[in-house]
Chains A and B, each alone.
Chain A
């Protein structure tokens, strides 16, 4: 990262764009406290992002989530709920809610090692939402999903916004970003090269699409 300055407000869906190797995952890992920045500060809710307590209010879906393969989806979600010290009744209620919301009845009873990519991603999203977090960080959540899976993910993200939560997600899939984000940040070589509300991008006088802007801005900084 190089002089990255980023602020995401409450209730936003922030799309974090950039080519491969731009630093999207690194930024998310710094925000999750997995990596330490050599300089500067990373804050979540005004507190040091690397402190474990701040994660009470955060839900995180890593890129290619690898969740306990020998547990069923239901067991994995139950144990993850317990990591938040949630009471049994509340966990079971949340599992049922998430099952209905994400359509994952089959995933709940199958061991995770038998899940397809889409099923594993759904369980991944469910574990990120189990604690009803105020901030949801998603790293490339749409990767490898079919159109139905992507639609389901988009709808789930929009529901989070409607519930007043903040969503920060990185993606390569510009059409998904166009459909759901309230603001985007375009990252290249560790720097933000464009940051704008989605409404401004969609209503540009020159009529350029997000893809055209993406290509233009990235090629300018190469």
Chain B
């Protein structure tokens, strides 16, 4: 079965590459990073900080776009356009098909983030004359955050339409970055408001934990147990979302 999942994943990667929208995003990301020079030139002090802010910001924005647009499409479009019927008519369980599609998508997303991060790594050396390997930690954190967001998208795409998945994913991303603020609200407000804020706090991921810009800017060493904890929590999100999505897909009528 692993072999079949591998071929589904490989096929997904090929489709993404040939579709050109992902390569288009890669190109836009490079332009954004180059554009950071303009912003950095406007700053007389902390030029390096400006480069890092704009560069990591560019990688983050492009990753969010790919996650929202390609992530909501990866399963949903194949089901909607009945392309999935061809693969699911083969001896492949639906959950394995979904795992292959998701793995292919995550690989593509990871490759784009890695390429952008590498470009940024060399570009910043060229501009400020410093090697900053912490940039790769920043790239890793952005990737992990996008994996968590993608897990939610995978789940949403099983229960609602592509556009609603995109909308809900955007909400997860925004609320996920403001999740600490929820604590302020649950101390006050009505009983119902407290219940909702509590529920959101425990159900939604805390996206702030993946924020790498201050770490990269301050060149602060990241404790290995922090990275391990982030990897474990990301894996947990993927597993839970994957299992639930697999169960929902098994029950889905492919009309």
A-to-B contact residues, CB < 8 Å:
29, 32-36, 52-56, 58, 60, 62, 64-68, 70-71, 75, 79-80, 82-85, 111, 127
Contact = CB atoms under 8 A, between A and B. Distances in A.
A52 B3 CA distance: 16
Given A52-B92, A55-B91, 14 more contacts: A32-B89, A33-B88, A34-B255, A52-B94, A53-B91, A58-B89, A60-B85, A62-B82, A62-B89, A80-B87, A82-B3, A83-B7, A83-B87, A83-B91
Interface residues of B, number: 26
Nearest to B86: A67
Contact of A34 (B8, B88, B93): B88
A80 B83 contact: no
Interface stretch (B9-17, B51-59, B148-156): B9-17
B11 A85 contact: no
Contacts, number: 77
Interface of B: 3-4, 7-8, 10-11, 14-15, 18-19, 81-83, 85-94, 253-255
Contacts of B89: 32, 55, 58, 60, 62
Given A70-B15, A83-B7, A34 B87 contact: no
A165 to B, nearest CB: 16
Given A36-B253, A70-B14, A79-B10, A62 B86 contact: yes
10 contacts: A34-B254, A52-B93, A52-B94, A56-B91, A65-B86, A75-B14, A82-B3, A83-B4, A83-B92, A127-B86
